[in-house]
Amino acid sequence: MALDRKPAPNDLNAFWMPFTSNRQFKKAPRMLVGAKDMHYTTADGRQILDGTAGLWCCNAGHCRPKITEAVQRQVAELDYAPAFQMGHPIAFELANRLIDIAPEGMAHVFYTNSGSESVETALKLAIAYHRAKGDGARTRLIGRERGYHGVNFGGISVGGIVSNRKAFGTLLAGVDHLPHTHLPGQNDFTRGQPEHGANLADELERIVALHGAETIAAVIVEPMAGSTGVLLPPKGYLERLRAITRKHGILLIFDEVITGFGRLGSAFAAQHFGVVPDMITTAKGLTNGVIPMGAVMTTAEVHDAFMQGPEHMIELFHGYTYSGNPVAAAAGIATLDTYREEGLFERAHALAPYWEDALHALKGTRHVIDIRNMGLIGAVELEPIPGEPTKRAFSAFLKAYEKGILIRTTGDIIAMSPPLIIDKPQIDQLVGTLREVLEALD
Q: Kindly list the distances between the CA atom of residue 84 and the CA atoms of 87, 114, 149, 200, 316, in Å, as whole numbers in the listed order.
A: 8, 18, 26, 42, 11
Q: Is 226 or 229 the residue whose CB approaches ligand PMP more closely?
A: 226
**Residue 345: partners with Cβ closer than 8 Å, 6 or more residues away:** 261, 262, 265, 266, 267, 339, 420
Q: How far apart are alpha carbons 349 and 367 in whole angstroms?
A: 29
Estimate to the nearest angstrom the gap between the alpha carbon of 54 and the chain centroid: 12
Q: Is 208 or 278 the residue whose CB approaches ligand PMP more closely?
A: 278
Which three-class secondary structure state does DSSP give residue 269? helix
- Closest separation between CB of residue 192 and ligand PMP, Å? 20
Q: Tell me which residue has its CB nearest to ligand PMP.
A: 115
- Closest separation between CB of residue 222 and ligand PMP, Å? 5
- Closest separation between CB of residue 113 and ligand PMP, Å? 8
Q: How far apart are alpha carbons 118 and 259 in whole angstroms?
A: 14
- Closest separation between CB of residue 114 and ligand PMP, Å? 4
Q: Is 112 or 426 the residue whose CB approaches ligand PMP more closely?
A: 112
Query: Is residue 235 a contact partner of residue 193, using CB atoms and an 8 Å limit?
Result: yes
Estimate to the nearest angstrom the gap between the alpha carbon of 167 and the chain centroid: 23
Query: Is residue 420 a contact partner of residue 343, using CB atoms and an 8 Å limit?
Result: no
Q: Is 52 or 193 the residue whose CB approaches ligand PMP more closely?
A: 52
Q: How far apart are alpha carbons 315 and 220 in whole angstroms?
A: 24
Q: Is 222 or 356 the residue whose CB approaches ligand PMP more closely?
A: 222
Task: Supply φ then ψ for residue 188, to 5 degrees.
Answer: -55, 140
Q: At what angle do helices 344-360 and 424-439 cross, to 10 degrees?
A: 30
Q: How far apart are alpha carbons 141 and 379 in whole angstroms?
A: 29
- Closest separation between CB of residue 306 and ligand PMP, Å? 24
Q: Is 263 or 347 the residue whose CB approaches ligand PMP more closely?
A: 263
Q: Which of 273, 269, 241, 239 is nearest to 257 (CA)?
A: 269
Query: Is residue 103 a contact partner of residue 280, using CB atoms and an 8 Å limit?
Result: yes
Assign 3-class secondary structure to 42-60. Answer: ECCCCEEEECCHHHHCCCC
- Closest separation between CB of residue 406 and ligand PMP, Å? 16
Q: Is 150 or 419 the residue whose CB approaches ligand PMP more closely?
A: 150
DSSP label at residue 281: E
- Closest separation between CB of residue 6 and ligand PMP, Å? 31
Estimate to the nearest angstrom the gap between the alpha carbon of 323 and the chain centroid: 19
- Closest separation between CB of residue 119 and ligand PMP, Å? 5
Biggest distance spanned by C-alpha atoms of the chain: 68
- Closest separation between CB of residue 307 and ligand PMP, Å? 28
Q: Is 260 or 326 the residue whose CB approaches ligand PMP more closely?
A: 260
Could you list the residues that contact ligand PMP (CB under 6 A)? 114-116, 119, 148-150, 222, 226-227, 255, 257-258, 283
Estimate to the nearest angstrom the gap between the alpha carbon of 427 and the chain centroid: 22
Q: Is 257 or 437 the residue whose CB approaches ligand PMP more closely?
A: 257
- Closest separation between CB of residue 139 and ligand PMP, Å? 22
Q: Is 91 or 280 the residue whose CB approaches ligand PMP more closely?
A: 280
C-beta neighbour count of 360 within 10 angstroms: 18
Q: Is 255 or 278 the residue whose CB approaches ligand PMP more closely?
A: 255
SS3 content of the chain, % helix, strand, coil (to 5): 40, 20, 45
Q: Is 222 or 381 the residue whose CB approaches ligand PMP more closely?
A: 222
C-beta neighbour count of 33 within 10 angstroms: 10
Q: How far apart are alpha carbons 245 and 66 in whole angstroms?
A: 41
- Closest separation between CB of residue 310 and ligand PMP, Å? 35
- Closest separation between CB of residue 194 and ligand PMP, Å? 19
